[in-house]
Amino acid sequence: MKKMLTLLLSAGLVATATQAISSPQEDLEKFRIHYEQRFPGIQLDEFGNGPYALDANKRLQWESMEEFPPYEEYVDKGREIWETPFKNGKSFASCFGKNVSKIRTKYPHWDKKTGKVVTLEGDINKCLKDNGEKPFGWKKGKIAYLGAFIGYEARGQKTNVVIPDDPKALQAYEEGKQFFYAKRGQLNAACADCHVYYPGQRVRGQVLSTALGQTTHFPVYRAKWAKKGKGDGMGTLHRRYGGCNKQVRARPFKAQSKEYRNLEFFHTYMSNGLEINAPGYRE
Amino acid sequence: MTKLTQRLGSTATALALCTGLVFSAQASADDLAAGKKLAFDRAKGNCLACHHIEGGKVAGTIAPPLMAMKARFPDKAKLRAQIWDATAANPNTIMPPMGRHRILSEKEIDQVTDFIHSL
């Protein structure tokens, strides 16, 4: 009953949230100006450090974590996965090319043939299937390790999502944008409520991060995910989306669902020009 | 004698009415305690997620501190309405509609309102 109620509520609210259509470029400009005015003096790339760009105490704790980062062993595991050949003798390099550092900034991207947003995780599992291997789980474990390695090798390169001038691609972008701004769940909160309107403020003890720069550090090592029953700390962007939706008491969508892929398309585009700093550490 | 009984009876009724009125205007200590518990409980009102409340630990900073509430809401019914559905006054508010989305029951909202109004 409760689930039903939540679902009805979120469905109704999504339908009422309408946004005037503006071009992705116009959206990006407004998005940037908002954060520049809200946080004058913070350099663009600093936003990729989430709450640690906004709160001096949390930053000190984070900097000490970064001295011996807990994600390092998973980057190494990712490297092993990358280097281990498939049963057919091929490897991930046969799908992605030999240069690992050239992969991360190609994602997410619009695929004209299938009319879908393609994510790195989507292509990792496609590569496995095409080579007769069993695909990885979508949210944590091997997919996150390999993603962490691919991200690590691309550190310092700039996010560069291209939204082609194609009605279907623009539609996917628009759906992602609507998702981002629509209130949902029993707590009636949009992504934007916390991460556009209240970043830097605290919800209880947690400092809210800016939506700008959120995508650059995924996959992430999250201390909250390094607990019994949760896993080893590593997780993908879509795992985080699901967690956010649950926190506002909305039913989460499946990892790699159309909803989350389109959200990733919009969300990552908004961070164009920011450096990849994956994998990141977060509380 | 009958008259006296009648008079006594009506006095008693009047007294009862008065006490009743006082009772409804001023929340009982039990209701205040229950309201406080709900306001601090992360799985219930969780007012502390965003508001500072005296006596509450690790309060958020998103929303105004809850203090001088009688001055801010002379009409308790308005405070209750704000808690029940803050989006009625401001559709973009981040405050969850506690009643409209059934986050709290009507009775719980009464108790939380009593507690918040006492701050």
Read off the pLDDT of residues B1-28 as tens digits, 9 standing for 90 and up.
Answer: 455 545 554 544 444 444 444 445 577 8
Predicted confidence at residue A21, as pLDDT, reads 78
Residues of A in contact with B96 (CB under 8 A): 186-189
- Note whether A202 contacts B60, CB cutoff 8 Å: yes
A111 vs A113: CA distance, rounded Å: 6
- Out of B50, B101, B103, the one facing A203 most closely (by C-beta) is B50
Nearest CA in chain B to A9: B101
Domain contains B58? yes
Out of A244, A251, A253, A257, pick the active-site residue.
Answer: A244
Q: Is position B103 within any domain? A: yes
Q: How many domains, chain B? A: 1
For A202, the closest of B61, B96, B101 (CB atoms) is B61
Contact A203 B103 (CB under 8 A): no
Pairwise CB contact (< 8 Å): B103 & A187: yes
Chain B nearest-CA distance from A41, in A, is 22
- Was A261 annotated as part of a binding site? no
CA distances to A62, A128, A223, B56, B116 from A228, rounded to whole Å, are: 22, 29, 11, 29, 37
Range of the domain at B60: 27-117
Instruction: Report pLDDT for B7.
Output: 54
And the tokens for B32? 């205040």
What is the rounded distance in angstroms from the CA atom of residue A144 to the CA atom of residue A146?
6
Which of B58, B62, B97 is closest, CB to CB, to A188? B97
In a domain, B13, yes or no: no
Residue B109 inside a domain? The answer is yes
The size of the A-B interface in CB pairs under 8 A is 38
Closest Cα of chain A to B90: distance in Å? 13
Q: Please give the mean pLDDT across all residues of chain B.
A: 86
List the one residue out of A245, A239, A203, A212 whose CA is nearest residue A224.
A239
pLDDT digits over A215-250, tens only? 999 999 999 999 999 999 999 999 999 999 999 999
B87–A203 C-beta distance less than 8 A: no
pLDDT digits (tens, 9 = 90+) for A21-59: 789 999 999 999 999 999 999 999 999 999 999 999 999
Q: What's B64's domain CATH number?
A: 1.10.760.10
Domains of chain A: 2-68+163-282 (1.10.760.10), 72-153 (1.10.760.10)
User: pLDDT higher for A11 or B43?
Assistant: B43
ipTM over 0.95: no
Whether B2 maps to a domain, the answer reads: no
**pLDDT, tens only, A144-180:** 999 999 999 999 999 999 999 999 999 999 999 999 9
- B8 within a domain of the structure (yes/no): no
Residue B46 covered by a domain: yes
Residue B86 belongs to a domain: yes
- Could you confirm whether A201 is annotated as catalytic? no
